[in-house]
Amino acid sequence: MPKNRLDPGQWVKRIRAETSKLNQDNITRTDAYFQFYRRHPEIKWAFLASMVSRNAGWNMCDLGGVLSAMIPEQARKQLFSTYERANWMIFHDAYPQLLVYRYATLYDPGLLEILPAFQTSRFMVTEWAHFFQYRNQERLLNALIINEQNLIQHPVVGHPYYRRRVFSSIWYRLQDLFHLNCVVFPTLEGRLYGDSVVHFNNTGKRIALGKRLAGILFHPDIYTRFFRFALNIPHTGSRYDYECLFGLTQDAPALRAIFPVVRHDWKEKRDWSKGKKLQKEWFLPGELEHPLDITNWYFRKRKRIRQFSAMAEQLKRW
């Protein structure tokens, strides 16, 4: 049946099937976001989501590579579970919104009315309606950042299991203390841009980080460099995707070589915006807090991590 003749229930079924197919693992999610952005560059959040998703994959592969000697196996499994769960949830929520937008644009603007069928927050239902009317790209980008970070606050960041086993662990606190975890946007020219991830358990801090990252990614002087990287470098999860540009040897396997596909469910998805007071600072423009180019800073941090890893490996042999 032609897509323009589907009834609302058939649209919901089709979009759920497409989302499920592409929400298999970090590799499929990263590519799905980027391919959507290539078709709809007005939806800037899709490119931001793809590049941040690349970083999630690199963090996952670190657990099977450079961090494997430093962090006990059980803690590594818990950290992987945290990355995977949060990113699966964001895709599960956001990708149907993107597909509704695509099909509403191609076939029928009235399709926006099916957003509640995917338990989309009332906040985002309002924001999509506003975007269709006024086409304010920056407002929609910011709204999607606000939505995704509030979305994961209760079921991941605030969940008793993750709060006790991950965010209160010494391994997480050391990463936070020494700024060992960061989001990097590489270029084919061999430069890195980005920001460090600190205070991850604070919703406002994550939203502020997301806005700063968007400011870097879409900076008019360097945006095309990031796009060329994403277009030319397939995502494998290994940091070698970009460290090869610096002449480094590969020290982390590809993601699918070390982690299996994880089955998820989400039985009690709540509307985070229902009864929630929206903070004024969430809607303020992002502020870049340091020089954009973090290449030298990043490699100093990575050198420190490798030194710690080598020390841990030596201690195991004693």
Three-state SS letters, 117-172: HHCCCHHHHHHHHHHHHHCCHHHHHHHHHHHHHHHHHHHHHCCHHHHHHCCCCHHH
Query: Which of 74-78, 122-126, 190-194 is predicted with the least confidence, judged by mean pLDDT?
Result: 74-78
SS3 of 237, please? coil
Summarised one tens digit per residue, pLDDT across range 45-70 is: 999 999 999 999 999 999 998 888 88
Tokens at 188, concatenated: 């084919």
Q: What pLDDT was estimated at residue 209?
A: 95
What is the total residue count of the chain? 318
Cα 78 to Cα 215: distance, rounded to the nearest angstrom: 31
* Domain boundaries of the chain, sorted by first residue: 3-258+273-317
Mean pLDDT, the chain, whole residue set: 92
Question: What band does 6 get if pLDDT is binned at 50, 70 and 90?
Answer: confident
How confident is the model at residue 199, as a pLDDT?
Answer: 79
pLDDT over 60 (residue 272): yes
Residues 6+ apart with CB under 8 A from 316: 69
What's the CA gap between 183 and 190, in Å, rounded? 16
- pLDDT, position 317: 63
